Amino acid sequence: MAGRIAGVCFIKVDGRQYNLRGNLIVSISPTERAGVAGQDGVHGFIETPRVPFIAGNFSDTDDLSINELDAIENATITAELANGKAYILRGAWTKSAHEIDGAQGQVAVRFEGLSGDEIL
């Protein structure tokens, strides 16, 4: 039986829920693989570690502080999806400088961390 696969989502930083505007992306895979091909065929793949992340756009509401976002380090980020799946990012920080999109009233935020897991 088909069920809900997308829709209402939530994101929390150390238990504080933020106003998630959209574009929630969760990428918790600990490794990345790239194929290696030679002139005589495929030889295999190279596997390297990668930084897991959770990203999305937050509404630029009165209680959203760019200074507070910039200061986030060693946080626990949770993402709850409409389909019932949930993910956690540990030892997380915010990446890069945050830019406010004044026309849309939103801020793109990307959290990167030491490890990520699916909550079962």
- 2 lies in some domain: no
Cα–Cα dist 12/95, whole Å: 16
Helix residue ranges, H only, 1-120? 66-70
pLDDT digits (tens, 9 = 90+) for 16-74: 999 999 999 999 999 999 999 999 999 999 999 999 999 999 999 999 999 999 999 99
Q: Domain total for the chain?
A: 1
Phi, psi of 32 (to 5 degrees): -130, 140
- 14 lies in some domain: yes
What pLDDT sits at residue 3?
81
CATH of the domain at 71: 2.40.30
What does the mean pLDDT of the chain come to?
95
- 3 lies in some domain: no
What pLDDT sits at residue 7?
83
What pLDDT sits at residue 5?
75
User: The domain containing residue 44 runs over which residues?
Assistant: 10-119
Please say if the pLDDT value at position 1 is more than 70: no
Structure tokens at 59: 């509404």
Cα–Cα dist 56/62, whole Å: 18
